[in-house]
Structure 1
Amino acid sequence: MSAQNVLNLIKEKNIEWVDFRFVGLSGKAQHISLPAVEIDEDTFVNGVAFDGSSIPGFRGIENSDMVMMPVTETAYVDPFTAHPTLIIMCDIFTAEGERYDRDPRGIATKAEEYLQSTGIGTDAYFGPESEFFIFDDVRFETGMNKSYFEVDSEEAAWNTGRKEEGGNLGFKVPVKGGYVPVQPVDTQQDIRSEMCRLMMEAGIRIDRHHHEVATAGQGEINFRFDTLTKTADNLMKYKYIVHNTARQHGKVATFMPKPLFGDNGSGMHVHMSIFNAGSPLFYEKGAYANMSELAIYYIGGILHHAPAIIAFTNPSTNSYKRLVPGYEAPVNLVFSKGNRSAAVRIPIAAVTPKGARIEFRTPDSTANPYLAFAAMLMAGLDGIKNKIDPRKLGYGPVDKNVYDLSEEEKKDIRSVPGSLDEALDALEADYEFLTAGDVFTKEFIENYVEYKRAEAKAVSIRIHPHEYALYFDC
């Protein structure tokens, strides 16, 4: 879509405001709105200025002038605003006109450019499965003398005896019993369908939606894969629509990995493949799971560098409340065909040559998608370049339920980091593969680690309510 096409769309849809958006290190969207009558072709040439010093992890106040450069192909009409508004994602540049090396979207674009420069392939395709909860109520507070959270849902297992409903209607979702039940157990069919309708109107191709395993409103909507940066753009759009549709229904949606103790958390399983000029590179008929040697090496790169890339794919302290055995979270760094207990699963049901792909099951949606997808691609490409064979390094294949293996069988299997700090330690020890092609810079990684260390410390120094249960009577 050209700048002129965007200007035509503004007239056609009677747009009043144009919302320019970018994504910071946290993965959250930021925005500035301009009157549509002030938008012309120069806007797309000169960009929109903003203060980079007010964005955590960006720039100091002494050098804060930055520019959002609109990416016209990302334009779509905001389905939620009272005044007709057009949303456009942007890349970030310095005031001097250089691409900003801390811009997550710019890093994703550089990763795609690096793939093409290697001669391995032309396109990397990504398809995330981002799970979420929809609650009716959320309350939390942390302070000097109190710390708590409380969430509620009309379909939660703990509400079988609740009287406040004006007559309890039953049909609650049992713990770990929420996978694809029909109504009335699934209370959120219409909300998810509305989310899907709005996503399709915004240009996202929807595959399916359903209730997920956990009680209290866990759901999943799958959308069609695309190239790396476009998929990250779509995931930002997806989360925006999920959050705001839930709000319109008087509910609240969260992509937090582990909002409930004792039930499944929300992951973001990521499917990946590489094509060369339209031809799939991951398929070889008759090989293990019909995977080519190139695909096996890609898996080797993912598993070998997993502790480091998990600092991007699972970048919150809450991520490691989900990455524990027993809740379908893959904590063991092995690969397998069709096996959901492995960190890397190779889908084998109804797969065509063009559908041949791998699935990295560890990530969650606290990830900044631009950084996470770029890190995964760089790890996989390093595996291909250096022929990292996971079969020779103890990464499988393991075609059994990993959780059922004996201690002897599991003794040589590596596990994911147990905390955000451990993942950041791994990133500091293993980052060279990310700097190939100047995709990630050493300065960016150092800044990212410092930014995330502060989050980890903020949690670690605070008193946990369960510590009162354990130690108050000492």
Structure 2
Amino acid sequence: MSSEFRDFLELSYEELETLNLAAKEQRKKRVDPEVIKEERLAYLIEEKRIKAVTLVFSDLEGRLHMLDYDKKFFVKSYDNLTFDGSSIRGFTAQKESDLRLGIDWTAFYWVPADVFGPGKVLVFAEVIDKNGDFYIGDLRGVLKNFAKEQFEKNGYTLNAANEIEGFLFDGVEAERTFHETGVFEYVNKGGYYHSLPGDPLREFIDTCSEIQRAMGFENEKDHPEVAPSQFEINYTYGDVVTAADQIQLYKLICRQVATQMGMTASFLPKPVTGVNGSGMHTNVSITKNGKNLFYDAKGQETTSKLGWTFIDRILTHGNDICLLLNASVNSYRRLDPHFEAPNQIKASATDRGSMVRIPIGNEKSARVEVRSVGPDANPYMVLYTVFKTGLDGEISKMKNLRQAERYLPDNIYTALEDFRSATWTTALLGEDVKARYADLKQASADRCPRLLGTVVKACEVQFHHEVYNQLLWGQF
């Protein structure tokens, strides 16, 4: 259709970066959300070239959902946006299906028109229950509340940065057709740090990096990873909710760019056997009044007592929380010690097979790195679990806790048993959400062979929570 009569918002990448960085600065300075709300509403009313507002939210498993509201309708009705929660896996039952979307005006993004379409802006939504509270199945709301409580009670700012690996495969929707083809085709076989300028993987990485930069990610570095056709695009740390939002945007951007290039960006933890899997190394720190509380120049590995206590609690609950950090059948292929997998429940400054690593750092960069996280896990659940466990969990009296010979589960069934039997996971999520999450994971596990074997099975891709749809699920 002709576009000559349309006048929709299309901003340059430089303009986008300026706007998104300014919004990010407001979040850092904790500007009153009501002030930001009034600014954004005024902008939407005044900017005539915007046609729609894209709302995004995540379900219990971390799958991103998107819906567009006509701008004029949105401006009039933003405080009364309802949807059918029974259609979202892990949310309400059919008999109590109505939920509401609350707008997080602080998480407002200007987006590239060539990726998201012209005339659109994007904002994250919070799921609200009938009583007006955060819905218990919306882990973004749970994480946001927890971060707020820590700041108000202790003055803590929770920070995170995630290193998200993925694969680029030939063909659109390669995951959804895997049960028919049985194979993923690489687009590049160069390996770690090696990709020729202009080849498909390099073009993909460059394009995604440009979009992230425009959306205020503040990029650091990007490169091909160890396995063929594998990539990683790094950006700076942020407050914990922004960091989780950026994980969702990162994966959305990668998938959209890959589709536009006739390829598929996959965040399966181990889509191909015989090569390294993909992780989401989760780097966390806590600051108070601008001071990094994980740093102590005289501490072991220059880590403070608070930092080591944080680590000890995560190690204590390593098996309990494994299912929350490794959320799919396919995740347990990655926890294979032959491919640099972090499957040992110990802490180390050097051993990359450790669940927790203490990277080299100074007062600014000191952090704790949880390496066992899969890239397909719910980012809000991951960051809530890591911080809540590190701050409020128990500490085992086991001798040599930090170097004991213990291992994470090598299959989802063991992880499910550990998760269900742990009192800590009930304290984390509450009985209701814990049961719902376990049931979802059990349903996926029951559609797959109990023994993983040496070949990726069609079902572990077909019934993966980021891949399945109603049609695929109905083919079981």
Query: Does the alignment reach a TM-score above 0.5?
Result: yes
State yes or no: 1:359 paired with 2:359: no
Find 2:136's aligned residue among 101, 108, 111: 101
Find 1:279's aligned residue among 272, 291, 301: 291
- CA apart distance, 1:271: 0.4
Where does residue 74 of structure 1 map in the other structure?
Answer: 107
> Could you say if the C-alpha distance between residues 464 and 280 of structure 1 is closer, same or farther in structure 2, counting changes exceeding 3 Å?
closer
**What SS class does the counterpart of residue 128 from structure 1 fall into?**
strand
State yes or no: 1:179 paired with 2:192: yes
Equivalent AA in structure 1 for residue 220 of structure 2: D
Where does residue 309 of structure 2 map in the other structure?
Answer: 297
1:270-328 CA distance string (max 9 Å, x none): 00111122211111113221011111111011111111211111100000011111111
**What SS class does the counterpart of residue 460 from structure 1 fall into?**
coil
Q: What 5-or-longer segments of structure 1 have no aligned partner?
A: 157-172, 397-411, 469-474
1:38-70 CA distance string (max 9 Å, x none): 232x534x2411000111111111111110001
Where does residue 379 of structure 1 map in the other structure?
Answer: 389
RMSD in angstroms over aligned alpha carbons? Answer: 2.6
Equivalent AA in structure 1 for residue 380 of structure 2: Y
**What SS class does the counterpart of residue 71 from structure 1 fall into?**
strand
- Distance in 2, Cα, partners of 1:387 & 1:414: 15
> Could you say if the C-alpha distance between residues 307 and 130 of structure 1 is closer, same or farther in structure 2, counting changes exceeding 3 Å?
same
Aligned ranges for residues 37-436 of structure 1 at < 5 Å? 37-40=72-75, 43-44=77-78, 46-79=79-112, 80-116=115-151, 119=154, 121-137=155-171, 139=174, 149-156=182-189, 173=190, 178-183=191-196, 187-215=200-228, 217-348=229-360, 351-383=361-393, 386=394, 392-396=399-403, 412-432=404-424, 435=427
1:151-177 CA distance string (max 9 Å, x none): 112324xxxxxxxxxxxxxxxx3xxxx
**What SS class does the counterpart of residue 54 from structure 2 fall into?**
strand
User: % of aligned pairs identical?
Assistant: 28
- Distance in 2, Cα, partners of 1:73 & 1:92: 15
- Distance in 2, Cα, partners of 1:387 & 1:466: 38
- Distance in 1, Cα, partners of 2:194 & 2:456: 37
- Distance in 1, Cα, partners of 2:396 & 2:406: 16
Equivalent AA in structure 1 for residue 185 of structure 2: D
Contact 1:16 1:85 in 2 (8 A): yes
1:92-124 CA distance string (max 9 Å, x none): 1113322211111111113213434663x5111
Where does residue 443 of structure 2 map in the other structure?
Answer: 454
- Distance in 1, Cα, partners of 2:151 & 2:420: 27
- CA apart distance, 1:269: 0.5
1:344-374 CA distance string (max 9 Å, x none): 11111xx221211111110011100001110
> Could you say if the C-alpha distance between residues 188 and 378 of structure 1 is closer, same or farther in structure 2, counting changes exceeding 3 Å?
same
Contact 2:324 2:381 in 1 (8 A): yes
TM-score under structure 2 length normalisation: 0.82
> Could you say if the C-alpha distance between residues 66 and 141 of structure 1 is closer, same or farther in structure 2, counting changes exceeding 3 Å?
closer
- CA apart distance, 1:434: 5.9
- Distance in 2, Cα, partners of 1:142 & 1:85: 31
- CA apart distance, 1:248: 1.6
Q: What 5-or-longer segments of structure 2 have no aligned partner?
A: 1-22, 24-35, 458-476
Equivalent AA in structure 1 for residue 326 of structure 2: N
Contact 1:395 1:413 in 2 (8 A): no
> Could you say if the C-alpha distance between residues 133 and 7 of structure 1 is closer, same or farther in structure 2, counting changes exceeding 3 Å?
same
1:179-199 CA distance string (max 9 Å, x none): 112416965223212111111
- CA apart distance, 1:264: 0.4
- CA apart distance, 1:4: 2.9
Equivalent AA in structure 2 for residue 4 of structure 1: E
**What SS class does the counterpart of residue 106 from structure 2 fall into?**
helix
Contact 1:382 1:433 in 2 (8 A): no
Where does residue 469 of structure 2 map in the other structure?
Answer: none
TM-score under structure 1 length normalisation: 0.82
- Distance in 1, Cα, partners of 2:217 & 2:197: 28
- Distance in 1, Cα, partners of 2:103 & 2:156: 24
Q: How many residues are treated as equivalent by the alignment? A: 419
Contact 1:50 1:66 in 2 (8 A): yes
- Distance in 1, Cα, partners of 2:454 & 2:362: 50
Task: Tell which deviates more after alignment, 316-325 or 426-435.
Answer: 426-435
Task: Tell which deviates more after alignment, 333-342 or 252-261.
Answer: 333-342
